[in-house]
């Protein structure tokens, strides 16, 4: 039973990866010529020169041959070499993936730590001052463009009060501002989500029963209510992870964070096909995996799913 489930998911993942990479590889080739990007600055470049460069990059071959090469390589963990300079793509990805995952993971964690208690508070104090305050603050948070927030944090925490490095990777201190930027924006949505889910659950009859039994309010909230509204929250946070990876590009840019977002952005603007294809593959893989984890988490929080 379990192996059937896993097999199905793996086949789905392979299908998703093939479709996504095929589409991206094809589409990016419609939008520009890497040879011209490389030749920029070289005075008068003839068509012959461009032809030579294309040949050197293997771009003179039919698209499906190039794509086939990419898939064959990827199966062996070899993503070829970057058009820009020839660094092995696997090395670029290997450096960037942990940076992005740690940033995304920490942001998500921070946001859950902040938004769950706040969302619950807002729900139990529904309509009262605390609820209003939390909702207004989250609305403000929601309205911040992430790049603006990032720049403001740099101004405050690196320049006015020189506490943190403004960019790059200099150890854990470098993680604080990018993660904070992402977490603030994520929390703004998550607080509202937790609040709504909690309100719904708190009006259920079993909560009334739990209270009538004389259980401590803490137990009612965190054991009975939170667990019951966990499924929609986990689903949403799983989906959010995909958006998070998308939104991370801007934050990585501002903080010069050596992650996949920056890598993908540079690859798109430089028409660096191998890097772009590999980045998209790895990102898709991450998203597929996260969704798989989300599905498995359902079983953890809900015994009814587990027993099926």
Partner 1 sequence: MMKLKALLASGTIALACLATPASHAAGALTVALHQDPGNWDPVATFLVSWGAVGSQIFDGLIVRTPEMKLAPGLATKWEFLDKNSKIRFTLRQGVKFHNGEPFDAEAVKFTFDRLLGEEGKKGPQQSNYTSIEKVVVVNPTTVDFIMKSPDPVLLTKLAGYGAMIVPPRYIKEKGSQYFGMNPVGTGPFKFVEYKPKISLGLEKNAGYWGGAPKVDSLTYRFIAEPATQAAELQAGRVDVANQIPLSMIETIRKDPKLAVVSMDGPVALALRYNTKRGIMQNRDVRKALTMAVDRDAIIKSILLGQAKPIASFQGTLSFGNDPALKPLPFNPAQAQALLKKAGVKPGTPIQLDFRGPDSNFREVAQAVAGYLQAVGITVTLKPYETNVLLNDIIPNGKTGEMWQNQWGGWTFDYDNTAYAMYYTKQRWNPFDDDAKLNALLHQQRNTWDQAARKQTLQQIARYVADQALEMPLYSLNTVYGVNKRAHNLALPADGRFRFVDATVD
Burial of 216 (0-12, 13-18, 19+ CB in 10 A): exposed
Closest contact distance (angstroms) between CB of 24 and partner 1 is 16
Q: What minimum distance in Å lies between the beta carbon of 190 and partner 1?
A: 17
Calpha distance 192→138 (Å, rounded) = 8
- For the CB of residue 220, give the shortest distance to partner 1 in the complex, in Å: 20
Closest separation between CB of residue 285 and partner 1, Å? 21
Which one, 183 or 245, has the nearer CB to partner 1?
Answer: 183
| Residues in contact with partner 1 by the rule CB under 8 A | 31-33, 36-46, 49, 52-53, 55-57, 81-82, 84-87, 91-92, 95-96, 151, 154-155, 157-159, 162-173, 176, 253-256, 258, 262-263, 266, 269, 271
Q: Could you count the other beta carbons within 10 Å of the beta carbon of residue 174?
A: 21
- Residue number with CB closer to partner 1 (234 or 264): 264
User: Closest Cα to residue 77, out of 89, 66, 87?
Assistant: 89
The phi, psi pair for 88, rounded to 5°, reads -60, 130
Measuring CA to CA, how many Å separate 38 from each of 25, 70, 115, 269, 284? 19, 21, 47, 12, 28
Rank residues 33 and 302 by Cβ distance to partner 1 and give the closer one. 33
User: From the CB of 157, what's the least distance to partner 1, in Å?
Assistant: 7
- Nearest approach in angstroms of CB 73 to partner 1 is 16
Which CB atom, from 17 or from 263, has the smaller least distance to partner 1? Answer: 263
Q: What angle do CA 67, 72, 76 make, to 5 degrees?
A: 140
* 70 vs 83, beta carbon nearer partner 1: 83
Separation CA 302–CA 209 (nearest Å) = 20
CB distance 66 to 58 below 8 Å = yes
Q: Which is nearer to partner 1, 2 or 159 (CB)?
A: 159
């Amino acid at each position: 039973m379990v192996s059937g489930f896993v097999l199905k998911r793996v086949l789905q993942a392979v299908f998703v990866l093939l479709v996504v990479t095929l589409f991206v590889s094809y589409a990016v080739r419609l939008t520009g010529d890497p040879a011209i990007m490389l030749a920029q600055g070289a005075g008068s470049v003839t068509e012959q020169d461009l032809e030579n460069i294309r040949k050197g990059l293997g771009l003179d071959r039919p698209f499906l041959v190039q794509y086939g090469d990419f898939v064959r390589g990827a199966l062996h963990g070899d993503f070829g070499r970057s058009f820009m300079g020839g660094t092995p793509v696997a090395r670029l990805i290997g450096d960037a993936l942990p940076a992005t995952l740690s940033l995304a993971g920490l942001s998500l964690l921070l946001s859950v730590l902040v938004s769950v208690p706040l969302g619950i508070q807002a729900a139990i104090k529904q309509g009262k001052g605390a609820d209003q305050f939390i909702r207004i603050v989250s609305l403000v948070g929601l309205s911040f463009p992430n790049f603006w927030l990032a720049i403001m944090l740099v101004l405050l925490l690196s320049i006015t009060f020189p506490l943190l490095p403004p960019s790059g990777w200099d150890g854990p201190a470098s993680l604080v501002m990018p993660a904070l930027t992402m977490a603030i924006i994520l929390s703004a949505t998550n607080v509202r989500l937790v609040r709504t889910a909690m309100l719904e659950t708190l009006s259920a009859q079993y909560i009334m029963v739990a209270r009538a039994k004389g259980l401590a309010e803490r137990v009612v909230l965190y054991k009975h209510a939170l667990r019951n509204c966990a499924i929609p929250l986990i689903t949403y946070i799983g989906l959010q992870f995909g958006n998070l990876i998308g939104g991370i590009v801007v934050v990585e840019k501002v903080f010069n964070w050596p992650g996949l977002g920056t890598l993908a952005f540079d690859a798109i603007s430089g028409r660096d096909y191998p890097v772009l294809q590999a980045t998209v593959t790895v990102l898709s893989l991450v998203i597929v995996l996260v969704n798989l984890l989300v599905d498995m988490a359902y079983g953890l929080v809900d015994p009814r799913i587990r027993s099926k």
